[in-house]
Amino acid sequence: MAIKVCDEKKIFQINTPNTTYLMGVVKDKYLGHMYYGPRMEDCDGLYLLRAPQGEKADHFLYKKNKIGFMDSFSFEYPAWGTGDFRDTCLKVRDERGYDTCELAYEGYELMDDKPALTGMPATFAGKEPAGAAQTLTIILRDRLIGLKILLRYSTFEDSDAIIRSVVAVNEGTQKLYLEKILSACLDMDDENFDLITLHGCWGRERHTAVRRVSIGKHIVSSLRGESSHQVQPFMALTTNGTNQKSGDVYAMNFVYSGNFIAETELDHQDGVRMSLGLHPDTFEWVLDPGASFETPEAVVVYSDKGLGQMTRTFHNLYKNHLIRSKYLHSKRPILVNNWEATYFNFDTEKLVAIAEEAKKLGIEMLVLDDGWFGKRDNDESGLGDWQVNEEKIKGGMKSLAERINGVGLKFGLWFEPEMVSPDSDLFRAHPDWAIQVEGREPSMGRHQYVLDLTRQEVVDYVYESVAAVLRSANIEYVKWDMNRSLTDLGSLALDREHMGEFSHRYVLGLYQMQERLLNDFPDLLLENCSSGGARFDAGMLYYSPQIWTSDDMDPIERLSIQEGTAMLYPLSSMGAHICVCPNHSVGRNTPMETRAHVALAGTFGYELDLTKLSEEDKEKAVVFNKEYHKYNDVVREGDYYRIASYQENNMYDCWQVVSPDKSESLVTYVQVRFETMRKSRRLRLEGLEPGAIYQLEGTEQTFSGEMLMNAGYLQPMLHGDYNSILLHFVKKN
């Protein structure tokens, strides 16, 4: 059994294959965190709470020095108001305005299952027996205000992750106002931790940032209405010297697509508190008597074998217990997107010409991007009017799809369902459907407003508009885009008391639309996007097996973007294409081979005008498409290892994937800067079978697995900047 309970001592032990998590109760009242680390069988560790016992406990907890105890105790789920002055997870206000809450332990429940969340993404049990799940629910209560808090911890037999969420239930007679309710917290001793976060901006998403944890609070957060380009809902604490192979890592990732806060606080007594959840600055929830509220899930991971093990724990969890798509374990079609080929300037004949060229090269799908609907010749009009512009698409969408299918390609379509242009029929008919503050002119971004998805009539209208187009033609793929942050937060349909619920209700409306889309079109391949990578988060992976990683497709920029993304998310989830040169984002020229090799680490496709490629590049594209079919199984299903980081060494990049049975491995090496020295690079590979013999494809060279892992492979210097090579090692029988 993964979860064990000692009822006599009130100790809770959560075991995964390689880790143990311990909690205990002090004086039948306070739930404290005891231990999180390598797996142990012994759970008798109440002494780890540093809590007084007997008469001394009465003195500290109930008489003269309760505040001193509260301000240093390792709470499992801290609440505001009774003496814990560190950042807390829960703040609740009653009808009289008091915001003090004191949670006391009441009991627990244990179930052999994994509960879903209402209207939100949630991990789920997989196939038996490895995918079996257990859930521990610990019940805490503040009797004075009638609040019950349920702390849920779920595990899977094949994963080292612990899934946490919280439910608040109002069992009293007055309304309660949740002002803050986070999903997870870890209270630990400081170990001179470093903090790892993922930062960036448009076109430079998820770059790795490392800093020493010092006294005070270290916060990453988004208030943009989405997980954002700028930060990722992720935080990891690492011990000194941690690298890919060694060191202790404590990590959290949020399964959510809206505003969040992740915080680490080092206090005056060398205690570290790490927490993650909904951002309180844009959150308040009215909890009527009898009502309940569920938080999104937080994924908590411990690794004692460095960042590499942490990464593979996240990858395997998301592939086995979060991504639901039928496409998860299959090759995605190689696609060409027309955006950077044509922008808004296209018609049926231009699209068919691209499709015909794509077919010759072995490309399998054409995706029509922005500009096919309404009055949409630029980005200043038309959003919300999801009717085909037949001046561009002669005969309508069904006719275009039939012509593309007739060429031998699948057909996909771009939407931006959450947005509306001021210059649109929809906005002229329903100006109140845009997010706005009454009396203020809302701010625009990319010449557009955001529709109010907290209103059911708006959700229904937008969804039906999109669904009508999908029903009209053979559309097998949808790219769901969202090109601006949320501002002027307000709904003309919410009253004053419930206006603080707006941001979370917006995300629930988004999730509802995507759930309906997948239910009504179960064979649809959905790719989420938000002006590139502003919504690359675990919440969206529940609805789409792939997400557009970044609008910047320059392969050198993509090295850092894809390294940071792959720290948490499977390679199969990363939308990656070959771009034209000079690159439209940064203007750089790079070899087509390097653009292809970097894109092969993701879903793979093209974003350029195929009709303008030289004959030499067309021949290369044929080779790349064959390589995709040859290598995608190991890229999609294999274990990922980071061998070298261009972010760290400023010279070269290298990553590796190994098939689950260790029979083959694909290594991608990118030389960013050429060096005049001729010394080869030593690449120490990982994950191979030590005693097996591997042959380097295309050569007669053979190596033992242990030689490649311990001594390494010597990669000769490639001539020139921005060059790359694929190394395919295959185990000999």
Q: Is residue 551 annotated as a catalytic residue, yes or no?
A: yes
CB burial class (10 A; 0-12, 13-18, 19+) of residue 686? Answer: middle
Secondary structure class of 197 (helix, strand, coil): strand
- CA–CA gap between residue 355 and residue 366 (Å, rounded): 6
CB burial class (10 A; 0-12, 13-18, 19+) of residue 438? Answer: exposed
Secondary structure class of 614 (helix, strand, coil): coil
Are 313 and 249 within 8 A, CB to CB?
A: no
- CA–CA gap between residue 87 and residue 83 (Å, rounded): 11
Residue among 75, 87, 482 at smallest CA distance from 280: 87
Detail the DSSP E strand segments found in 312-358.
335-337
- CA–CA gap between residue 560 and residue 579 (Å, rounded): 17
What separation, in Å, do the N-terminal and C-terminal C-alpha atoms of the chain show? 39
Tell me which of 160, 369, 370, 481 is the catalytic residue. Answer: 481
Are 363 and 409 within 8 A, CB to CB?
A: yes
- CA–CA gap between residue 490 and residue 454 (Å, rounded): 10
Tell me which of 187, 551, 552, 639 is the catalytic residue. Answer: 551
- Residue owning tokens 């239910």: 519
Are 254 and 182 within 8 A, CB to CB?
A: no
Q: Is residue 481 annotated as a catalytic residue, yes or no?
A: yes
53: left (phi over 0), alpha (psi -120 to 50) or beta: beta
536: left (phi over 0), alpha (psi -120 to 50) or beta: beta
Phi and psi at residue 517, to the nearest 5°: -60, -45
- CA–CA gap between residue 114 and residue 301 (Å, rounded): 17
Assigned token pair, 145: 């205000």
Are 85 and 67 within 8 A, CB to CB?
A: no
Are 157 and 33 within 8 A, CB to CB?
A: no
Give Cα 279 distance to the centre of its chain.
17
How many Cβ atoms sit within 10 Å of the Cβ of residue 353? 15
The catalytic residues are 481, 551
